[in-house]
Amino acid sequence: MSDHPVQGPVNPEEPDFAALLASLLGASDNPEVAKAMAAMGIDKMDPATMNMVGEQLKSMFSGGPAEPFNVELANDVARKTVAAEGDSIVGDVARREIEQAVEVAHLWIDAVTDLPAPAGPVHAWSRAEWVDQTMPMWRQLVEPVAAGVSTAVVAAMRAQMGELGSGEGLPAIPGLEGMQGIDPSALMGQVEPMLERMSGTMFGAQVGQAVGALAGTVVSGTDVGLPLVPSHGVALLPANITIFAEGLEVDLTEVRLYLAVREAARVRLFAEVAWLGPQLVALVQAYARDITIDTEGIESALQSIDPSDPEAMQSALSNSLFAPEPSPAQRSALVQLETYLALVEGWVAVVADRATIKHLPHPGALDEAVRRQRATGGPAGQIFSQLVGLELRPRRLRDAANLWAALESKGGATARDSAWAHPDVAPNAADLDDPLGYVDRFMSRGTRDEMDAALDALLSEGDSEDEDNPGSPQD
């Protein structure tokens, strides 16, 4: 069997829509085509843009499966967004400054946590490098919702085609008279693959713009609170650190060291708490998979937009994709996701404070600068809102920091870090409302070693019972 789908119509008596439209795209001297283009405002585009649009449309008829998210386009758009805002290769001096800052950060963190430093590399990235290195993880996060959007776009177009045909076949279309009277459902069989590719292209462009804009604000690889950097590397963006330091009245070297401590601490956490990164990713995907696509909103947007205004098209679709009310499953995933993101950043804030308090003159001011950035939405709030319609509330960050500080005060750094041993013992949303109650309950469980010993004993008892009752059912 061929790996490529049939390019023509299944029924040879039906017109080949792909061939007709491909021919139409090349017929710039067709007066009917010219009128249609003028009516849509497409004739106002410059020749280079017109050629690009034509090539993109033609490529949609090429063979191969349609992807719900065009990651190559997303990466290309993100890099062009970065280039438009300004970017440059990181020089040797800046690279050495980052490497030295991370080396010092590890030494300071070693004194305040038992979590070891991972053996991952140190990176000094430009904005474009951050885009390239983190795009694989963005793909994992957004593909579930991209698939839902693709399905909804096809459904919306199917509904419009049904109304257009009204049971009597398609009316005359200027420049495509050969399609008059054909069955809209038969036409959709050829159009659907194209629509899926169009949806993947649209979503890829949207993701690319969002990630490209984000690259202009993040100061480190995992600044959004997710394990975006491969191999537990510690990555910092020198150009963005310089921008972050503007107006703080704090020496740039101190800002660089403080942000290096935060990033190195966050990477340690993701490296040592094996369940944390996958759980965060799974929660984002669970929220995205259960998104209800607002099909009526998409239909309305498709009918009302001006095709000559790409920004209006993107804005209309972005505002129409998601149903306004999250489902119960989404609410549950959202609460868990917000809680874990707050716990990560709260733990990082406490560890960074303990690591820098004796070495830097302004750790409090720098912590407050980071909090202000988070309070205005921050990188995570921007990206989730644009990509999956998910708003993150920063208010829980202070609650989480208070909880970790209280636990540390009662049981030391060992108790504080032991709370990450398993998701069942880690704090939850209710614990952020009652941090002292959580501290009392956690300390009553004992240390991490004691909990491990108790778990081993419990498992041993289960094994003994199985040996005594060989016929007992197994879970």
Collapsing DSSP states into helix, strand and coil, what is residue 367? helix
Work out how many domains the chain is built from and give that number: 1
Residue 206 lies inside a defined structural domain of this protein = yes
Residue 473 lies inside a defined structural domain of this protein = no
* Both tokens assigned to 190: 């050829």
Residues of the chain with pLDDT under 70: 1-66, 153, 156-191, 291-299, 301-325, 377-394, 446-475
Residue 79 lies inside a defined structural domain of this protein = yes
Residue 92 lies inside a defined structural domain of this protein = yes
The model carries a pTM of 0.75
Residue 462 lies inside a defined structural domain of this protein = no
* Both tokens assigned to 222: 């995992």
Rounded-to-integer distance, Cα 415 and Cα 417, Å: 6
pLDDT of residue 383: 64
Q: Where are the beta strands (DSSP E) in 198-277?
A: 234-236
pLDDT of residue 51: 53
DSSP state of 420: T
Residue 153 lies inside a defined structural domain of this protein = yes
pLDDT of residue 176: 43
Collapsing DSSP states into helix, strand and coil, what is residue 395? coil
Residue 377 lies inside a defined structural domain of this protein = no
Residue 422 lies inside a defined structural domain of this protein = no
DSSP state of 123: E
Rounded-to-integer distance, Cα 14 and Cα 179, Å: 9
CA angle centred on 407, ends 103 and 101, rounded to 5° = 10
Domain span at residue 249? 63-170+181-330
- Cα-Cα end-to-end distance for the chain: 43
